[in-house]
Amino acid sequence: MQVAILMIHVAIAIALVVLILLQQGKGAEAGAAFGGGASQTVFGSRGSGGFLSKSTAVLAAAFFATSLTLAWYATQASQAPEAGIPDARLIEQQRGIPTLDDSAQGMDNAAPVLEGSDG
């Protein structure tokens, strides 16, 4: 679930960047006010300002919501005791590999092997 929200979050971020770059600055509206022919566009006589502004606001709210959701998932994961990378000692204990702490106990039971001896 967290991966899906993260993918949606990235898609919203990219869409926000594109929508913000498509919007015209405040100086571009002055040309249309004096009879610029480009004011009659696909988005209506008012131009694309209303549509792009509303779309940006909706995407910004969605970005905020996904940010809060991802932050909530991060705090829940950090509070779980089994979350994260396990300690090396835990992995070695699960595999039955003696750890440095266990090596002193294991050495007491082992018979020493001397070089050159028969047995």
For the record, the structure tokens of 40 come out as 């009659």
* pLDDT greater at residue 7 or residue 23: 7
* Average pLDDT for 36-53: 63
Per-residue pLDDT tens digits for 58-70: 999 999 999 999 9
The DSSP secondary-structure symbol of 34 reads: T
* Alpha carbons 50 and 31: distance in angstroms, whole number: 17
* pLDDT greater at residue 43 or residue 71: 71
* Alpha carbons 114 and 119: distance in angstroms, whole number: 8
Which residue's entry shows tokens 């549509």?
51
Query: Is residue 27 predicted with pLDDT exceeding 70?
Result: no
* Alpha carbons 65 and 60: distance in angstroms, whole number: 9
Q: What is the sign, positive or negative, of the torsion defined by CA atoms of 45, 51, 57, 63?
A: negative
Per-residue pLDDT tens digits for 72-112: 998 887 776 665 666 777 777 777 766 566 555 555 555 55
Say if pTM beats, i.e. exceeds, 0.75. Answer: no
Closest of 62, 46, 57 to residue 19, by C-alpha: 57
Q: Are 62 and 12 in contact (CB under 8 A)?
A: yes
